[in-house]
Amino acid sequence: MENASKALLIAGAILLAILIIAIGMFIFTSAQSQVNDALTDMSSQQIEAFNSNFSSYDASQVGSQVKSLLGRLIANGNTYTEEPAKVPTVVFTDKTGDPDKGGDGKVSDTCTDKSFGKIAYTNSDASQMNNYINALGKARNFISTKHKYYVEFGYTETGLISSVVIYYVPPTSSSEK
């Protein structure tokens, strides 16, 4: 009988220990999900901070603003050499009309001589980053401050800016040329 009561006490202690471990695991799992949610929010805040460097350039811009945007893209390329996802692809093309002036805003099939085409950086290769930065520098030097441009952004699934499309908007009257 004495052995049976000791066995019951040991079994009770084991069950109590299992219960305490289960409660501890539940608390740990709950805390872990809270930490993951906080990290996700932090990531969203980081994406928002990254995008805010460029979002003010969205829509119709004069050439000096586009030059400023390209300067920011060059600085961004120097900062994120090892993180290609944070280096947006830049595309230059023509547009058939500025939506701010009532145009249809469709991309034309061909680019004019004001087009540099697509400037992209896809991997962590220093020489490719130099090519990317040099191409942006050449484009920046070519942009005319008196012309109008239209800037649009493409985004990844997470909301990070992945591409910048810069449309040259041809002048609508002879006084703008």
Mean local confidence (pLDDT), 51-61? 87
pLDDT at 104: 47
Give dist(CA 4, CA 7) in Å, integer: 5
For residue 135, pLDDT over 80 is answered with yes
13: Cβ contacts below 8 Å, ≥ 6 apart: none
pTM of the model: 0.62
What value does the mean pLDDT take over residues 113-137? 67
- E strand segments, the chain: 59-62, 89-94, 117-119, 148-155, 161-169
> CA-to-CA distance for 130 and 142, rounded, in angstroms?
18
Task: Give residue-wise pLDDT tens across range 74-102.
Answer: 998 888 887 777 888 888 776 554 454 44
> Looking at residues 19-28, what average pLDDT do you find?
93
Angle separating helix axes 126-142 and 63-79, nearest 10 degrees: 170
| Residue 73 exposure: Cα atoms within 13 Å on the Cβ side | 34
Q: Give the residue among 170, 163, 174 at the shortest CA–CA distance from 69.
A: 163
- Of 16-20, 23-27, 50-54, 167-171, where does mean pLDDT reach its minimum? 167-171
Residue 59 pairs in a beta bridge with 151
